[in-house]
Structure 1
Amino acid sequence: MSEHDHTTEAPVEQIGDLEVQRISGDIQQHAALSTRSKARKQALDILFEADTMGTDPVTVLALRPTVIDNPVRPFAAELVEGVSTHRTELDAAVSECLAPGWTLRRMPRVDRVLALVGAYEILFTDVPNPTAISEAVELGGEFSTDDTPAFLNGLLTGIAEHGPFEMASPQADSQDPDEAADTAAEPETQPDCVTTDRTAPGAAADHDPQGPTEPATTEPIEAATQPPTDEDVDLVEAADDHPSDPAAE
């Protein structure tokens, strides 16, 4: 008997007059990933709407079934609730890894939401970091600017490599004036996750709108910690004031 005769074939199942191979575990795993990808789009839509309205995301989540005939996926609800619950920690983590002079509020709304979702998956769930980064990068390429994929890749890679982050506690009002002066005189240290040698926005390679086909690399992209320019922000706020309902896909 030849070596070829020992090759294990996929199980065959009889359905009527047809013989079909059962779905492999790899295909089933791919289907599960696809389901989670759709849930991330749904979470993006809910969080984007809440950010636009200045409303608690959990409130928007609760009202969702009454305004859209599209059941909220369990993983989407988990992401929305997680971002809402840990918003202070997530804001701190993202802010730590932004380039100097940039803040969360200066980021395009879609980028900000995706950064928070990606940071939540990295810091508070068992989702593998490359998967969390790759999914955010792909959604950024689909719903935001051409610079967004590289920006999110570097930002979330920095969070994955240097988190968790300590939240800065507000100084007490009764702090001694001399102690406060000494604190103010101390030079600020640059967070390790911020790339200081950056190229200008837009210098990244051309982006495929379909997003990456492989998990994002854990190597930071130098230009990635520099968010899009002010012009990009204006374009996103004006032309992309609300993404086409990603949850409907």
Structure 2
Amino acid sequence: MASHVATARSKARKRALDLLFAAEARDISAGDLLDQQIGEGQVPNNPFTVKLVRGVVADAERIDALISQFAKDWSLARMPAVDRNVLRVGVWEILDGDVAAEVAISEATALVTELSTDDSPSFVNGVLSAVAKDLATKH
């Protein structure tokens, strides 16, 4: 059963990433795009997708500040869009605390391994690990 849940959540993360990426490409709010799709009957089949998108949108300022703090020598604007949005999902999951930081980091790394550049997995893993370590020292 655990692998089914993990698979469903992995797919939900991918769907959330697709939404965040599409919204950014169209220069609209991911929340607005999600609402538009729901209004058109394109409701994500996993409520976790909605939770991720809404969470990233709600905490966008804090999430981007954390990414900027730990992405050494990389501004958000310079990052590949996939990496930037995967980092946003990963940071939100670490902040949310619903899954262990290690799970959020592993899932984010898997997404960029599949979808981005050869350098992306180590970059995303490094940034998210630094964020998780920093947040753990403050709790």
TM-score (norm 1): 0.52
Q: Choose the corresponding residue for 2:62, options 89, 102, 122.
A: 89
> What secondary structure does 1:163 align onto?
helix
- Offset, 1:86: 0.2
- Offset, 1:148: 0.6
Q: How many residues align?
A: 136
Q: Deviations over 1:120-178 (max 9, x none)?
A: 000123211111000000000111111111111111000000127xxxxxxxxxxxxxx
- Offset, 1:30: 1.0
Task: Measure the CA separation in 2 of the matches of 1:68 and 1:143.
Answer: 27
Conserved 8 A contact 2:76-2:84 = yes
- Offset, 1:29: 1.0
Q: Choose the corresponding residue for 1:117, options 79, 86, 89.
A: 89
Are 1:135 and 2:99 counterparts? no
Task: Measure the CA separation in 2 of the matches of 1:59 and 1:72.
Answer: 18
Q: 1:117 to 1:71 in 2, by over 3 A?
A: closer
Letter in 2 for 1:80: V
Task: Measure the CA separation in 1 of the matches of 2:95 and 2:42.
Answer: 32
Letter in 2 for 1:35: A
- Offset, 1:66: 5.5
- Offset, 1:64: 1.7
| 1:16 alignment partner in structure 2 | none
| 2:25 alignment partner in structure 1 | 52
Are 1:61 and 2:34 counterparts? yes
- Offset, 1:65: 3.9
Per mean C-alpha deviation after superposition, the further-off stretch among 123-132 and 153-162 is 123-132
- Offset, 1:116: 0.5
Task: Measure the CA separation in 1 of the matches of 2:16 and 2:79.
Answer: 19
TM-score (norm 2): 0.91
4+ long deviations beyond 2 Å: 65-72
| Percent identity (aligned) | 40
Specify the structure having the higher radius of gyration (Cα): 1
Conserved 8 A contact 1:94-1:155 = yes
- Offset, 1:71: 3.3
> What secondary structure does 2:23 align onto?
helix
Structure with a larger share of its residues in helix: 2
| 1:104 alignment partner in structure 2 | 76
Conserved 8 A contact 2:109-2:124 = yes
> What secondary structure does 2:93 align onto?
helix
Q: Choose the corresponding residue for 1:147, options 108, 116, 119.
A: 119
Task: Measure the CA separation in 2 of the matches of 1:54 and 1:109.
Answer: 12
Task: Measure the CA separation in 2 of the matches of 1:33 and 1:120.
Answer: 18
Structure 2: stretches of 5+ with no match in the other structure:
none
Task: Measure the CA separation in 2 of the matches of 1:144 and 1:162.
Answer: 26
Conserved 8 A contact 2:44-2:50 = no
Q: CA RMSD in A?
A: 1.6
Task: Measure the CA separation in 1 of the matches of 2:11 and 2:24.
Answer: 20
Task: Measure the CA separation in 2 of the matches of 1:55 and 1:130.
Answer: 31
